[in-house]
Amino acid sequence: MVKSFNISYVERKDLEDVSSEVSAYDPQRVLVQIFSGVLDKLVIEKLLAEMGELYPGVAVIGTSTAGEIADGEAVENTILVNFTLFEQATVKAALVIQNDDLYQAGRDIALGVRQGSDKAVIALGCGLKNHRTINGEPLLDGIRSACGEAVIAGGQAGDNGIGETTFVFTGEGITENGVAAASIAGERLTVNNTYNLSWVPIGKKLTITEANGPEVYTIDGLSPYDIYVHYLGQEVADGLPLSAADFPLIIERDGLPMAIHATGVNDDGSFTYIHNFYPGEQLRFGFCHAGLLALGAQTTHNEVRTFRPEALFVYSCVSRKWILGADISVELSAFADLAPSSGFFCYGEYYLHSTGKPYFFSQTMTVLSLREDSGSGVSEVNDYDPSVEESRQFKTMRVLHRLVDTSTREIEHMNAELARLANKDSLTSLANRRLFDETIDRELRRQGRSDAPFSLLLMDIDHFKDYNDSYGHVHGDDCLRAVSLVFRRLVKCPGDMVARYGGEEFACILSSTSHEGALALAEQIREGVEQLGIPHQASSVAGFVTLSVGVLTVHDTRGLTSQSVITACDQLLYEAKKQGRNMVVGKEIESFK
């Protein structure tokens, strides 16, 4: 059985008061987590020294916070010490004092705490670097690479919203640039983790049109600042990047909705976000839906209740506390009757999905549950009733959200239908097949009355079916949009047109363009798609998405049918694929006669 309890530390006597209880356990079966809203390192050093004297050999990990969580309540500016005592499981802690190479830091900390039969790794990472929130994703990938099947939980240190310095620590010391972690191993130990977002998307879908990693330059062709002004108003835009936490971008990745907020506004007009973005990805603004918070709390409560926990660790984003204020109790109190709980408000949360993939969340609450007994059956605790805590405003918000969400979906459906009727492909915003067929017939007739050459490009994304099979159709749609952005950026001449010809195949009509010019443009397009760097591990060509292109130039188009030109160009595209893909194959002919 796991035994867990919290104390509020002010002086040595607070630690001494629980010595008889803690000393009854082997030191290697004790985990101490310290969540400090007191940012004075001298106070922490004193506490660590006292812990070492009173409880030698006990694993201690700790972090500065943006608020503490104790038994279903949010507190501030305290030093919360949680003792978790195990009958059978063992604990091992370690400290890494660098975060310049986050992946390596993750591997090092995982190797430092690894015991061999680890069920959980709790990691506490520093939250800020150069006054910006750290993207903990590489750290989690590093931990995952070395910790086997252990569940990863925890979060990033806070500093009460000041945004200057965060720190983590163990009995080995304190660092502003590193990570502290503890592993828990035991045959009888059972672990569960879950999360609650409650930020919901609202408004129309937006498309990332230019981005480089976490730097976003344009969304729907506008600067991020202009997007915020247009949709959220000048007041929100003037408060950036801090106001972005209230209205994060919601994006779905691997089937999980994620809230991603801006962390910096750069001199070149780009915004820096806490995660990477890719051209073509679609997203919406989000807001913390207080009306759905209670329902999310109920769902999370019932999931955790079924697990029958003996100890709960809660790691919640500080944005939830800032935005919800006193209503944060609706979420936290859901666990008060299940098991002793402790945790903190952090600058990013660590979560391992059931698929085995680790995620770095923001604006999310995660819950790690532990027990050492068999856990058979369901706890006698009643289902959580959020109506006890929620206000009438919560219920009104749920109704309003349904109204807005239903209206938005209906508008998106109408826009898609209008785009189809307007000869535009609704997914890529390029010309559709119908408009292409009309245009190529017209251009062939027009070119037949002049001496100018006619050029056609047929382009196909290499192994796109394998891409869809590997990454799913949502990412497939993102890929098509990203590739279409390359076409729109490079094909600029009046009279030229790019169309989505079908599926992953595209066609480009180049009026009055020489063969040399058509080949040069085709190569620019091929390189542009390659430079997107969209991962494609299922491709036999490269580890990223590539494009094959066929280029046909005809000088005398009199009497030609569009089908004969398309068939000839399609044969060149076939040759490009046959010769290895990710290449341009062209041919110039005088006429078909």
Residue numbers annotated as active site: 504
Beta bridge partners of 61: 33, 170
Other residues' Cβ atoms within 10 Å of the Cβ of residue 38: 17
Q: Give the distance, in angstroms, between the CA of residue 461 and the centroid of all CA atoms in the same chain.
A: 26
Give a three-class secondary structure readout of 73-133. Answer: EEECCCEEEEEEEECCCEEEEEEECCCCCHHHHHHHHHHHHCCCCEEEEEEEECCEECCEE
Residues 6+ apart with CB under 8 A from 29: 85, 86, 87, 88, 89, 90, 91
Question: In a 3-state reduction of DSSP, which class is residue 463?
Answer: coil
Q: What is the longest distance spanned by two Cα atoms in the chain?
A: 100
Give a three-class secondary structure readout of 225-239. Answer: HHHHHHHHCHHHHHC
Distance CA 72, CA 381 (A): 15
Beta bridge partners of 74: 69
Q: Which two tokens stand for residue 419?
A: 């785009």
| Run of H or E including 384 | none
String of DSSP letters for 493-541: STT-EEEEEETTEEEEEEET--HHHHHHHHHHHHHHHHHH--B-TT-SS
Q: Give the distance, in angstroms, between the CA of residue 282 and the centroid of all CA atoms in the same chain.
A: 13
Q: Compute the chain's Rg from CA coordinates.
A: 29
Distance CA 45, CA 357 (A): 36
Residue pair 290/319 in contact by the 8 Å Cβ criterion: no
Overall residue count recorded for the chain in this entry: 593
Distance CA 159, CA 65 (A): 5
Return the residue matching tokens 């209880």: 21
Q: Which two tokens stand for residue 388?
A: 């006890």
Q: Are strands 365-371 and 118-125 parallel, antiparallel or unpaired?
A: unpaired
Backbone φ and ψ for 376, nearest 5 degrees, come out as -70, 145
Please state, in angstroms and as integers, the Cα–Cα distance from residue 288 to each residue in 178, 192, 281, 328, following that order.
Answer: 31, 25, 22, 11
